[in-house]
């Protein structure tokens, strides 16, 4: 068909060097921030779970009353 140049090695090298350059730019959160965000996510998950459970009970009792 035609001659192709194998640039696979150069592409990998530039990809990983670009990846390393972007990885250096990451600002990691401190322990206090991670703890606060973890507590917020856990609280929201528990609250949402309770709301869904209460709605489920109300719907179940409502359907059993109707039927």
The DSSP result for 12-64, as a single string, is HHHHHHHHHHHHHT--PPPHHHHHHHHHHHHHHHHHHHHHHHHHHHHHHHHHH
Mean pLDDT value of segment 18-40: 95
Locate tokens 């194998």: which residue? 6
Task: Indicate whether this model's pTM tops 0.75.
Answer: no
Q: Copy the structure tokens of residue 46.
A: 């528990």
Query: What total of structural domains would you count in the chain?
Result: 1
- The answer to whether residue 3 sits within a structural domain is no
Whether 53 is covered by a domain: the verdict is yes
The answer, yes or no, to whether residue 9 has pLDDT greater than 80, is no
Average pLDDT along the chain:
88
Residue ranges making up the domain that contains 62:
8-66
Question: Is the pLDDT reported for residue 39 higher than 90?
Answer: yes
Q: What is the arithmetic mean of pLDDT over 9-36?
A: 88
Question: What pLDDT was estimated at residue 57?
Answer: 96
């Amino acid at each position: 068909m035609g001659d192709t140049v194998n640039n696979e090695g150069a592409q990998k090298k530039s990809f990983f060097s670009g990846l390393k350059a972007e990885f250096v730019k990451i600002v990691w959160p401190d322990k206090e921030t991670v703890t606060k965000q973890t507590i917020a996510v856990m609280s929201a998950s528990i609250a949402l779970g309770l709301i869904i459970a209460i709605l489920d009970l109300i719907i179940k009792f409502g359907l059993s009353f109707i039927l």
